[in-house]
Amino acid sequence: MDSVRPKRLKKRQTGRVGAVEAEFFNGLLEDVLGYEQLIADEQPLDWPQFDENAGAVLCYTSGTTGDPKGVLYSHRSVVLHAMAAGLSGAFGLSAFDCIMPCSSLYHGTAWGIPFAAAINGCKFVLPCDKMDGASLQELIKTEGVTLSGGVPTIWTMYLAHLERSGEDSGSLARLVIGGSAVPRAMAETFQTKYGVAVCQLWGMTETSPLGVVATPTPKLAERGQQATNDTIWTRQGRLQFGIELKIVDEEGRELPCDGVSSGSLKVRGPWTVERYYRSEVSALDEDGWFDTGDIATLDADGFMRITDRSKDVIKSGGEWVSSIDIENVAAACPGVKVAAVVGVFHPKWEERPVLVIEPHVDAKVTVDTILAHLEPNIVKWWMPDAVIFDAVPLTATGKIDKKVLRERYRNHLVENQPSAVNQ
**Domain of residue 352, CATH code:** 3.30.300.30
CA gap 39, 341 in Å, rounded: 51
Q: How confident is the model at residue 418 (pLDDT cuts 50, 70, 90)?
A: very low
| Closest CA relative to residue 149, chosen from 100, 95, 188 | 100
Tell me: the pLDDT tens digits for 185-195?
899 999 999 99
Q: What is the pLDDT of residue 15?
A: 41
Instruction: Please give the share of the chain, as a percent, with pLDDT higher than 90.
Output: 58
Given a cut of 60, whether residue 419 has pLDDT beyond it is no
In a domain, 167, yes or no: yes
Assess whether pLDDT exceeds 90 at residue 218: yes
Distance CA 415, CA 412 (A): 5
> Distance of alpha carbon 321 from its chain centroid, rounded?
22
Find the Cα–Cα–Cα–Cα dihedral 189, 194, 197, 198, rounded to 10°. -40
What pLDDT sits at residue 89? 92
For the chain, give the mean pLDDT.
Answer: 86
More confident residue, 297 or 180: 297
Percent above pLDDT 70 for the chain: 89
Same domain assignment for residues 282 and 323: no
pLDDT given for residue 63 in this prediction: 58
Given a cut of 60, whether residue 421 has pLDDT beyond it is: no
Q: Which residue, of 309, 334, 354, is where some domain finishes?
A: 309
Give the active site residue among 21, 130, 315, 375.
Answer: 315
What is the domain-level CATH number for residue 91? 3.40.50.12780
**Catalytic one among 64, 206, 207, 382?**
206
Closest CA to 283 of 296, 294, 268: 268
* Residue 315 among the catalytic residues: yes
Q: What is the mean pLDDT of residues 242-269?
A: 93
Best-predicted range by mean pLDDT among 35-44, 95-104, 323-332? 95-104
206 is catalytic: yes
Give the CA distances from residue 297 to residues 87, 202, 225, 262, in Å, rounded to whole numbers and listed in that order.
24, 13, 23, 5
CA distance linking residue 239 with residue 90, whole number of Å? 10
Instruction: Name the residue type at position 86.
Output: G
Looking at the structure, tell me whether residues 182 and 286 fall in a common domain.
yes
Would you call 386 helix, strand, or coil by DSSP?
strand
Whether residue 188 sits in one domain with residue 107: yes
- On whether residue 50 sits in a domain, the answer given is no
Q: Are residues 380 and 409 in the same domain?
A: yes
Give the model's confidence band at 9: pLDDT under 50 very low, under 70 low, under 90 confident, else very high.
very low
Query: Based on the domain organization, do 408 and 341 belong to the same domain?
Result: yes
- Judged by DSSP in three states, 59 sits in strand
pLDDT above 70 for 62 = no
Q: Which domain holds residue 35?
A: 5-39
| Residues 295 and 150 both lie in one domain | yes
8-17, 108-117, 397-406, range with greatest mean pLDDT? 108-117
Residue 213 lies in a domain: yes
Terminal alpha carbon distance of the chain: 49
Same-domain pairing of 324 and 373:
yes
Containing 328, the helix (H) or strand (E) segment is helix 323-331
Do 249 and 375 lie in one domain? The reply is no
Indicate whether 48 belongs to any domain: no
What is the C-alpha to C-alpha distance for residues 85 and 93, in angstroms, rounded to an integer?
8
Segment 144-156, tens digit of pLDDT: 999 999 988 899 8
Tell me the per-residue pLDDT of 347-381, one tens digit each, with 9 for 90 and over. Answer: 888 789 999 999 998 898 999 999 999 999 998 88
The answer to the question of residue 276 being in a domain is: yes
Checking if the pLDDT of 315 tops 80, the result is no
Whether 420 has a pLDDT exceeding 50, the answer reads no
Looking at residue 290, what is its pLDDT? 96
Both 322 and 305 in a single domain? no
Q: How confident is the model at residue 40 (pLDDT cuts 50, 70, 90)?
A: confident
Longest dimension (CA), the chain: 77
In the prediction, which pLDDT does 319 show? Answer: 73
With contact defined as beta carbons under 8 Å apart, do 324 and 308 qualify? yes
Residue, of 415 and 421, whose pLDDT is higher: 415
* DSSP annotation string for 176-224: EE-SSPPPHHHHHHHHHHH--EEEEEEE-GGGSSEEEE----HHHHHT-
Regarding whether 370 and 287 lie in a shared domain, the answer is no
pLDDT, tens digit, for every residue of 195-212?
A: 999 999 999 999 999 999
Position 35 in a domain: yes
**Residue 368 contacts by C-beta under 8 Å, 6 or more apart in sequence?**
none
Query: Is the CB of residue 238 less than 8 Å from the CB of residue 213?
Result: yes
**Given 23, 130, 219, 320, the catalytic residue:** 320
Residue 320 annotated among the catalytic residues of the structure: yes
Provide the number of structural domains found in the chain.
3
Residues 25 and 89 in one domain: no
Q: What is the pLDDT of residues 397-410, one digit of tens each?
A: 777 888 899 889 98
**Of 254, 280, 309, at which residue does a domain stop?**
309
Final residue of a structural domain among 283, 309, 335: 309
pLDDT value at 321 more than 50: yes
Whether 49 is covered by a domain: the verdict is no
Which residue type occupies 239?
A: L
Greatest mean pLDDT range, 116-120, 129-133, 150-154, 312-316: 116-120
Split at pLDDT 50, 70, 90, the class of 415 is: confident
Does residue 226 sit within a domain? Answer: yes
Confidence band (pLDDT; 50, 70, 90) for 101? very high
The answer on 93 and 11 residing in a single domain is no
